[in-house]
Amino acid sequence: KKDSKILDAGCGHGAFMLQFNGQAANISEIIGIDIWSNKDQGSNSIAATQKIMENSNLADKVKLKTANILDMPFNDNEFDLIVSSLVLHNIKPFEKRKAALVNIARVQKQKGQLVIMDIGYETSKYVRILKELGYQNVNIVNAGYNGWWGTPMVPTFVITATK
């Protein structure tokens, strides 16, 4: 919607944020947070991601921050849309993943949209937790063979929900 404020929780190199390149006119701000670890993504740094964003239609809309999903420095009910791609499975143990979902719900506006992509180890548990947090229209779909991490034994799922 017009003047949307978006959070990319665990933005990495910004690939998910770039998906909004054609919708820049409707976006007031996109904030990308990450802990900027090279463990999961080579050359992952705030400077590298900023350089990628500077070459997009979103250059004046994107703000990058160093922050952990478990302790996000945002107000309650701040974001219209929250996306998180291939991040939650890195948070261990599962109780911390649950805490991350609670924190995501905290910063999301009522009627806000949530999109989570993650490797399918325990993603079905996310659905239950999101419903407990008051999300509605919670759906989970398999991303198919394009979402495999080298083998069908490690599928990727996409979860969508409305708060």
pLDDT score of 71: 95
pLDDT exceeds cutoff 80 at 43: no
pLDDT score of 66: 96
Q: Is 141 helix (H, G, I), strand (E, B) or coil?
A: strand
**Domain 4-162 adopts which CATH fold?**
Rossmann fold (3.40.50)
pLDDT score of 158: 93
pLDDT score of 100: 98
CB 27 within 8 A of CB 127: no
pLDDT score of 151: 65
pLDDT score of 21: 86
| pLDDT band at residue 125 using 50, 70 and 90 as cut-offs | very high
Average pLDDT over residues 29-35: 96
pLDDT score of 101: 98
pLDDT score of 149: 64
The angle subtended at Cα 61 by Cα 57 and Cα 66, nearest 5°, is 120
pLDDT score of 147: 65
pTM: 0.92
Q: Which helix (H) or strand (E) holds 106?
A: helix 94-107
Residue 139 β-bridge partners: 160
Mean pLDDT of the chain, nearest integer: 91
pLDDT score of 24: 86
pLDDT exceeds cutoff 90 at 39: no
Q: Select the more confidently predicted residue: 124 or 83.
A: 83
Poorest-confidence range of 8-12, 55-59, 97-101, 150-154? 150-154
Distance CA(40)–CA(20), nearest Å, equals 24
pLDDT exceeds cutoff 90 at 123: no
